[in-house]
Amino acid sequence: MQATDTPAATFQPVSAAALSGWLRLEMTDGVGLGTAHRLLERFVTPEAIFGAGRGALLDEVKPEQADALLQAPPDGLAALVDATLAWLQQPGNHLLSYDHPDYPGALRHIAAAPLLLYLKGRAELLGRPSLAVVGARNASAQGMLNADRMAQALSEAGLTIISGLALGIDAAAHAGGLNGPGSTIAVIGTGPDRIYPARNKELARRIAEEGCIVSEYALGTPPLRDNFPRRNRVISGLARGVLVVEAAAKSGSLITAKLAIDQGKELYAIPGSIHATLAKGCHALIRESGAKLVETAADILIDLKLLKPGARGTRPPLDDSFVDRVLEALGEHPAGADLLALRLNQSAADLQGQLLALELAGLVERLPGGMFQRLRA
């Protein structure tokens, strides 16, 4: 599902010289992102950094780093520039350097902000209000369902869902986000021309068409172990907050939660059974890290001031006669959106937003399996 109220983003094409400078800075041995940003504060552009004399460089970096910056461009740089420019010719592919006016403001001030962002899909989504939804790769069936339904409800309310394209909770969150107008963003730990894990290839294809795939890694970068925890700062950095659905006591999702705290973002967690291993991490976040306990999408929307606190107990902004028709169609037993749409003679896609309004008003309850149940007043 794709919203049509926001035009697609358009970017000025990057020049070969500028791209070469950014890639060379990334490829310089011994110069990490922290040092790169310090140099950019002084010299403004990569070209100016490489054109500076050794004395000027020594004002900012160690001698060995200055020497590395003064070396000839690395082997393979020209080929990578050519390959990247060719990749940018493909429909839907974009590149944002740190100095680009469309570089996401939410990322500019995080620690070690990426120098380059490779985008595949609807780049305008990076400027939308968003929420990160993360959790265990070996998630339970209930956890997957919770992530899918929560993400869909938040997407229906206009939030773009951000996650990391991993198996389990990430994949479920992306799927749920795609089912609402907010759509989804996948921040990946490989180059933008690679998909990992392979089992999510079809999901990645859908996200590239209906959402957006984001990577800070150059073309051809394989799924290196260190890339995945590193990309988590981008997941939390783009979002207004982070929701942890399921996490064991030492889950990698807790890295994203810690980053959210460090970045001053809101942190939410869904509780589970006291006997469930995959609930231990969420419980620890609530108990020790100040995460807000979440039971429904309304909890998050109210906390982000996207929904008034009184909305739970008020009628939704729908025609009263239609509300009565939906409640009558539900009857005494739970029913799925497809069955309700058939009973009401309308599309299931249109009905989803109306069901969300009824849910937020406290008139219906969303059950596991995509079922809805009428609530008694």
User: Cα angle vertex 73, ends 71, 78, to 5°?
Assistant: 175
Residue 355 belongs to domain with CATH number: 1.10.10.10
Q: Are strands 160-163 and 130-134 parallel, antiparallel or unpaired?
A: parallel
Residue 348 lies in a domain: yes
Return phi, psi of residue 317, to 5°.
-75, 60
Identify the pLDDT of residue 333. Answer: 85
What are the residues facing 131 on neighbouring strands? 161
**Tokens representing residue 332 in the block:** 């005494």
User: Cα angle vertex 176, ends 353, 114, to 5°?
Assistant: 120
End of a domain among 68, 89, 110?
89
End of a domain among 43, 67, 89?
89
242 & 197 share domain: yes
Identify the pLDDT of residue 321. Answer: 75
Which pLDDT tens digit goes with each residue over 79-98? 999 999 999 999 999 999 99
258 & 351 share domain: no
For residues 317 and 374, give the distance between their C-alpha atoms in angstroms, rounded to a whole number: 18
Identify the pLDDT of residue 132. Answer: 98
Residue 97 lies in a domain: no
Identify the pLDDT of residue 337. Answer: 81
**Tokens representing residue 94 in the block:** 């974009």
44 & 75 share domain: yes
Q: DSSP letter at 189?
A: S
Transcribe 288-319 into DSSP letters.
Answer: HS-PEE-SSHHHHHHHTTSS-GGGGGS--SS-
- Residue 306 pLDDT more than 50? yes
Residue 110 lies in a domain: no
Residue 138 lies in a domain: yes
**Tokens representing residue 158 in the block:** 């206009």
Which pLDDT tens digit goes with each residue over 46-65? 999 999 999 999 999 999 99
The torsion defined by the Cα of 242, 160, 293 and 269, in degrees rounded to 10, comes to -40
Look at residues 320, 324, 321, 316 and name the one whose alpha carbon lies nearest to residue 353: 316
For residues 278 and 133, give the distance between their C-alpha atoms in angstroms, rounded to a whole number: 15
For residues 360 and 311, give the distance between their C-alpha atoms in angstroms, rounded to a whole number: 7
179 & 267 share domain: yes
Residue 3 lies in a domain: no
Which pLDDT tens digit goes with each residue over 16-42? 999 999 999 999 999 999 999 999 999
Identify the pLDDT of residue 66. Answer: 97
Out of 164-173, 194-203, 298-307, least confident range: 298-307
211 & 144 share domain: yes
142 & 236 share domain: yes
End of a domain among 276, 303, 330?
303
- Residue 2 pLDDT more than 50? no
Structural domains counted in the chain:
3
Identify the pLDDT of residue 353. Answer: 66
Average pLDDT over residues 258-279: 95
Residue 118 lies in a domain: no
For residues 12 and 100, give the distance between their C-alpha atoms in angstroms, rounded to a whole number: 9
Which pLDDT tens digit goes with each residue over 281-305? 999 999 999 999 999 899 999 999 8
Residue 236 lies in a domain: yes
Identify the pLDDT of residue 317. Answer: 47
134 & 165 share domain: yes
- H runs (alpha helix) in the chain: 16-27, 33-43, 46-51, 54-58, 63-70, 77-88, 105-108, 141-156, 169-178, 201-210, 227-238, 253-262, 280-288, 297-303, 320-330, 337-344, 348-360
Answer whether 103's CB lies under 8 Å from 133's CB.
no
Identify the pLDDT of residue 87. Answer: 98
Return all residues near 326 (Cβ < 8 A) that are at least 6 apart: 340, 344, 354, 355, 358, 364
Return phi, psi of residue 244, to 5°.
-100, 120
Q: Are strands 335-336 and 371-374 parallel, antiparallel or unpaired?
A: antiparallel
228 & 291 share domain: yes
Bigger pLDDT: 336 vs 20: 20
Average pLDDT over residues 222-236: 96
Q: How many CA atoms lie within 13 A of 2 on its CB side?
A: 16
Looking at every residue in the chain, the average pLDDT score rounds to 90
Answer whether 182's CB lies under 8 Å from 155's CB.
yes
129 & 262 share domain: yes
195 & 277 share domain: yes
Which pLDDT tens digit goes with each residue over 231-262? 999 999 999 999 999 999 988 899 999 999 99
- Residue 9 pLDDT more than 60? no
Identify the pLDDT of residue 326. Answer: 86
- Residue 133 pLDDT more than 60? yes
267 & 328 share domain: no
For residues 81 and 135, give the distance between their C-alpha atoms in angstroms, rounded to a whole number: 36
Bigger pLDDT: 375 vs 145: 145
For residues 262 and 377, give the distance between their C-alpha atoms in angstroms, rounded to a whole number: 42
For residues 42 and 55, give the distance between their C-alpha atoms in angstroms, rounded to a whole number: 13
The residue segments making up the domain with residue 338 are 312-374
61 & 192 share domain: no
Burial of residue 51, with CB atoms counted within 10 A of its CB: 0-12 exposed, 13-18 middle, 19 or more buried: exposed
Residue 101 lies in a domain: no
For residues 127 and 160, give the distance between their C-alpha atoms in angstroms, rounded to a whole number: 10
- Residue 349 pLDDT more than 80? no
